[in-house]
Copies of this chain bind each other. A is one copy, B any other.
């Protein structure tokens, strides 16, 4: 079981070589090595001057924000065309208006890790869905040291936290003190932060109860990343106590409500390969083998099933497996997974709506989403011991 990162998508490193092709020269900056602002671009004031109007009127013309005579407008637009002016400078506008049209999205991990989880992508899409039409764009911020600075220094109007750990709390405080609204998806509830929650604990309990009803006694957990440590391994009490990932922890708790002494394996995140590694760790020893596995995501579940198959086990005859998310997985082994279907897109949309309401000065209520049990064909009663 390698300790290296499981998936090296792109596997570039040693792949192709880069060749600096000769010829073309870069973006319209001839030889202005010492002039930071290359060509002195025209300003609204210049356009107004040329059109023979005041800057105020020119501004109105460009923003449709007041009554301007047709002829005047034409003159202004013509002047702009002649000068090569394409509209107000966003930086000045955002200072003046107090709004930048940018919403920061704080992800716990690297972009690559975050987007490997389809749930995150779908949620992001949901946020963009709702906030895009009013002219907002999303700024990607990760929890690394460098972008911590950006969280405080970026001109953002609002922030959405993606299941972030407490380590961002201090930065979030600063952001809040600045009057920037904060929305958190599946995070540990924070004061003054609009919470978009998922019933992780209850949903997992439902899965556990399903297994209990089927008669399973020896159940193991395969968890998402528990903390920033990036360590795989047996799920121990201390490990759980030290966990910083609220979502993973809630799901552990839900399982414990049915199986108080449940053990298992902690992975590095939601991928099939991680699930496979966990599966081998849990299933290798035939004598200590669980009869059912609660995986904290569908991808992990798919990996566990693959490991089971590799070990010659049949699902669900020899092993029951449940997942979480309800994502359509491109893996035959995971077809028909018993799982909880969570409304990821709706979660993203709710977060987006929350942002918009907060920005409008409203006081939106926290929202709580529930997952739906979907019984598939990966769970069955345990086989009688030594038939």
Say yes or no: A10 contacts B181, CB within 8 Å. Answer: no
In the complex, A26 has a CB within 8 A of chain B: yes
Say yes or no: B345 contacts A10, CB within 8 Å. Answer: yes
Which residues of the other chain, B, contact A368 by a CB distance below 8 angstroms?
18-21
Say yes or no: B102 contacts A128, CB within 8 Å. Answer: no
Interface 9-residue window, one of A51-59, A134-142, A379-387: A134-142
Say yes or no: B146 contacts A9, CB within 8 Å. Answer: no
In the complex, A112 has a CB within 8 A of chain B: yes
* A339 CB, nearest partner CB in chain B, Å: 10
Pick the contact of A331 from B24, B89, B330, B354 — CB < 8 Å? B330
In the complex, A195 has a CB within 8 A of chain B: yes
Which residue in chain B gives the minimum CB-CB distance to A354?
A: B26
Say yes or no: A12 contacts B128, CB within 8 Å. Answer: no
Report the bound CA distance from A50 to B136 in whole Å: 36
Say yes or no: B101 contacts A154, CB within 8 Å. Answer: yes
Interface 9-residue window, one of A34-42, A65-73, A208-216, A256-264: A34-42
Say yes or no: B29 contacts A328, CB within 8 Å. Answer: no
Interface 9-residue window, one of A90-98, A232-240, A287-295: A90-98
Say yes or no: B341 contacts A20, CB within 8 Å. Answer: no
Say yes or no: B370 contacts A19, CB within 8 Å. Answer: yes
Pick the contact of A345 from B13, B21, B95, B139 — CB < 8 Å? B13
Say yes or no: B98 contacts A327, CB within 8 Å. Answer: no
In the complex, A364 has a CB within 8 A of chain B: yes
Report the bound CA distance from A19 to B369 in whole Å: 6
Say yes or no: B178 contacts A26, CB within 8 Å. Answer: no
Say yes or no: A12 contacts B146, CB within 8 Å. Answer: no
Say yes or no: A15 contacts B343, CB within 8 Å. Answer: yes
Residues 296-337 of chain A, each 1 if its beta carbon lies under 8 Å from chain B, else 0: 000000100010000000000000000001111011110000
In the complex, A27 has a CB within 8 A of chain B: yes
Which parts of A91-135 form the interface with B (CB within 8 Å)?
91-95, 98, 100-102, 104, 110-112, 115-116, 118-119, 121-125, 128, 132-133, 135
Which residues of the other chain, B, contact A137 by a CB distance below 8 angstroms?
104, 139-141, 147, 150, 154
Pick the contact of A328 from B11, B15, B33, B369 — CB < 8 Å? B11
User: Sorted from nearest, which 5 A-B pairs have the closest CB atoms?
Assistant: A10-B344, A12-B343, A10-B122, A272-B330, A90-B155
Pairs across A and B, CB under 8 Å, 25 listed: A9-B118, A10-B119, A10-B122, A11-B327, A12-B341, A15-B342, A15-B346, A16-B346, A18-B368, A26-B363, A28-B177, A86-B174, A90-B153, A90-B154, A93-B153, A110-B128, A111-B121, A112-B121, A115-B115, A115-B124, A132-B142, A132-B144, A140-B140, A273-B330, A332-B333
Question: In the complex, given contacts A9-B118, A15-B326, what are 10 additional A-B residue pairs having Cβ atoms less than 8 angstroms apart?
Answer: A9-B122, A9-B327, A11-B327, A35-B361, A41-B179, A91-B95, A94-B155, A104-B137, A111-B128, A137-B140
Q: Which residues of A contact B (CB under 8 A)?
A: 7-29, 32-39, 41, 84, 86-87, 89-95, 98, 100-102, 104, 110-112, 115-116, 118-119, 121-125, 128, 132-133, 135-142, 144, 146-147, 149-150, 152-156, 174, 176-183, 189, 192-195, 197-199, 271-273, 302, 306, 325-328, 330-333, 341-347, 350, 354, 357-358, 361-372
